[in-house]
Amino acid sequence: MSAPRRWHIPAGSRQSGGFALELTPEACGWTYCSLRVLELAPGSAVDLNTGPEEMLVLPLVGACRVNVDGM
């Protein structure tokens, strides 16, 4: 498979568990990193249990507030 085709993920083809996009290390052949895209309506909220994973929150549009351990 050529590089451009390998890295093109058609919209809606990798939805999982409420995420608009979920790329896991297993699905992509990566060692550690994953990518999850969450689309939220204004004023809505989501709770995530990260377990042992490190997380980065990057708003692509608008803004957000992140609470850690209930704070």
Sequence ranges of the domains in the chain: 1-71
pLDDT band at 17 (very low <50, low <70, confident <90, very high): confident
Q: Is the pLDDT of residue 5 over 70?
A: no
pTM above 0.75?
Answer: no
Sign of CA dihedral 24, 51, 40, 64: negative
pLDDT digits (tens, 9 = 90+) for 27-48: 888 888 888 899 989 889 888 8
Burial 24-56 (b: 16+ CB within 10 A, else e): eeeeeeeeeeeebebeeeeeeeeeeeeeeeeee
